[in-house]
Structure 1
């Protein structure tokens, strides 16, 4: 889950002003049909896999674990081949072209942004990169900056995510120079095909997910856990315009979130803690809380869901049913932020512990979304016995200032 406070950025304003001068007399893209976030609005597919450009903010979010295709998942953990990855595509409606204030076709009606990160558990390394493009909202825009409306297809430069007819999701990124906390390093590239093994999981009330005490502080939100990944990974050098056929064959287990909203963070919320976890038994656990700006105050909101298996009903969590208890912290040497990297998580599905598999998984997205956050591969354990139940991703925002985009 990634939640953003979508105020228009100064960067977008500059681009829009420059672009409108060049295209002021061209016909604007079609007016967006209003589709407000509302309880009871059914999610319809494949349409709702695509972009909802009338909503202020939206993201397609992939997290997962990968390992060499010649290994089993258990061998990867013991022999040093386990990797974690995150790829997130953001869309932000700027509002700068409303009411014909900026009528040109090239006005920055939308910003498209993307983050990618790769964690190597054995090497204790975490690399990440980012992309930012403006988009005028037109369906016939250049293919390197576009988000399709009728089905999932998002391009931010050469970074792409799309859905094939047979319901496979394909993603590829090329990070020619990845960032470490203190230095730049050779990058990585990844191309993966993601095949569902379970049905969609509608979060909240049939896809209407509350994120605050007011009804309008909500999103439409669904997840696809337990995606089976097969692909290729390139490490150590820039890949160029096209991904070559060579590279390391990998497979893995991936979680996909798609979420869109007009407003999410309550005024007194600083950020959130979130987990999306795959169980070895086919279960899927989601949990989140929004933290208050005041230190020590009760959470602004909390929630999540539990599905025991692919065919089981989804159990939606009420705010009072979820409690995050920090157990151990890591202090970022770059930002000084203190991130809890071990948690005890209390839910109606049981009491669990979440252990980061690498402490240093902080991502600096200041050059695109304007925020710094922690996003990393984590192990899911039973709190009483210590038995490992599965693996997933932990996300923590608002530890370096209040989280926002724009």
Structure 2
């Protein structure tokens, strides 16, 4: 799910050991996402207690008084020859302290950054994933909202190039050659504020919440490079930005998160935090925007998510659900969700599954189609056989 649960103090400790940059192939020992987020919160950081007034582009930038923050981009793209692609580019910030101590070095920082980059090539049936780390100093990594929004980690970056227009770029080397994105994203809709005016509750505790908004319907053009071959692409992207100081509620074992952009203009974001007793966290709320623009919250009582299949990773041995039915009976929504590829496992510092999905179904009696992304964490973590 799109929460700040993915990057914690545990990660920061790992970063200090590993150094400024590492690739997953260089680290046989790594960390569990869920265990990382069970660390207790530090009371010295700011917390999200009440709705705030967002100002853009300022609030696209960093909020270092909060412990954790991330900027998350995904997109569903198509080449001129019909080849489908999906991409993920995410930047994470984690604070060691709420304020920067006095230091003389220009490389000193209390902010640690991590980034994930992935490309799914539906034509080749391949998914490639990469990660990087750095410190928020020396222009190695950072995020600013003014005078223009820009978040980066080395040469992976997202930057506002004109009002309502962003440029994304990232490049890495995969097993079969260069992997890259060079994309322009144009806003077509106002920001979506999740929860109560952007205050998104994570648990029953006061302050166990984040500030969370999305940019959806981002018209996307540009190029993707897969196995050294470059394609002109078009499609739609989704940006999430979330910041806060919170932790997983006791008993949480993982989450299943979905974002869907429908061809009729509807938008859906929802997720479940799975609990060890077989239940789900009752405090989580999703967001539904109808084709006419009316927005409403979705609770765990409103929907039923049922896996229709499973896939086991040949690398890690972890089994993930693969395909789902999603029904919201009271709202007249009945959907079938299919991964673009079964293997979209992120083989990086934290092993999880994140990938492009296709959606078909019915909404208020009308046939609908859509595309989006899903994120699955906590699978395989009951066994310590392969924890990152």
TM-score for both structures, normalised by structure 1: 0.79
Give the Å deviation of 1:354. 1.3
Give the Å deviation of 1:215. 3.3
Listed as ranges, the matches of 1:328-367 within 5 Å are 328-347=309-328, 349=331, 350-366=333-349
User: Would you say the 8 A contact 2:117–2:129 is kept in 1?
Assistant: yes
**Equivalent residue pairs, number:** 354
Gap change, CA 1:188 and 1:268, over 3 Å in 2:
same
Q: CA RMSD in A?
A: 2.9
**Which of 351, 354, 364 is the matching residue for 1:372?**
351
SS across alignment from 1:116: strand
Gap change, CA 1:60 and 1:401, over 3 Å in 2:
same
**Which of 52, 72, 76 is the matching residue for 1:65?**
76
**Which of 164, 171, 189 is the matching residue for 2:180?**
189
Listed as ranges, the matches of 1:55-204 within 5 Å are 55-68=66-79, 70=80, 76=82, 81-95=83-97, 100=101, 105-136=106-137, 141-142=138-139, 144-150=140-146, 151-175=148-172, 177-178=173-174, 184-204=175-195
Q: Provide the rounded CA distance (Å) in 1 between the counterparts of 2:169 and 2:100.
A: 36
Deviations 1:207-238 (A, max 9, x none): 1111223232211111111110011222334x
Structure 1, unaligned stretches of length 5 or more? 17-32, 179-183, 238-245
Deviations 1:250-298 (A, max 9, x none): 111111111112114213212211111010011111111111134x234
Give the Å deviation of 1:152. 2.7
User: Would you say the 8 A contact 2:73–2:240 is kept in 1?
Assistant: yes
The equivalent of 1:39 in structure 2 is 50
Q: Provide the rounded CA distance (Å) in 1 between the counterparts of 2:367 and 2:275.
A: 32
Moved more, 58-67 or 210-219: 210-219
The equivalent of 2:38 in structure 1 is none
Structure 2, unaligned stretches of length 5 or more? 20-43, 383-387
SS across alignment from 1:48: helix
Gap change, CA 1:127 and 1:15, over 3 Å in 2:
closer
TM-score for both structures, normalised by structure 2: 0.83
Give the Å deviation of 1:324. 1.9
The equivalent of 2:208 in structure 1 is 217
